[in-house]
Amino acid sequence: MVKIDVSVGDLCDRISILCIKRDKLGISIPELESYSEALDDFIVEGNFDVGLFPILQFRLRMVNKLLWEFEEDIREAHKEFNIELVLTLSRMISELNSTRSNIKKKINELVGDQSEPKTY
């Protein structure tokens, strides 16, 4: 296994996506437990004031859940050649990705993570 440094926000994002994948597809995801344990250990060892942390995690999961559903909808709209719906969903996905990025940034700020944000 290769180990890489990731921001806490990105780790929370990955965990939320894996939870959604597990729930939607009904499959076991072995790395989910190890990622969750790594996050828990980080929080405990860091002794952070993380009162907002569960709220931000919940918001991130809800945004990722909406993104999952919109991506499913956009695949169906493509099959039906519904270009107007594809464009609408694409705009919504873009807005949700901005929200997702802001939540991850807030998580990083909360725990003092100075990781470089992704730029596009």
Which two tokens mark 87? 């464009």
Tell me the domain boundaries of the chain.
8-110
The predicted pLDDT at position 63 comes to 98
Supply 53's token pair: 């942390």
- As a whole number, the mean pLDDT across the chain is 86
Between 73 and 2, the higher pLDDT residue = 73
Please answer whether residues 8 and 39 qualify as being in contact, where contact means their C-beta atoms are separated by less than 8 angstroms: yes
- Tell me what pLDDT residue 51 has: 77
Q: How large is the angle between the packed helices 8-25 and 53-79, nearest 10 degrees?
A: 50
- Give the span between the Cα atoms of 70 and 72, in whole angstroms: 5
Radius of gyration of the chain (CA): 16
Distance, in Å, from the CA atom of 34 to the CA atom of 40, rounded to the nearest integer, reads 10
pLDDT digits (tens, 9 = 90+) for 77-113: 989 899 999 999 999 999 999 999 999 999 999 888 8
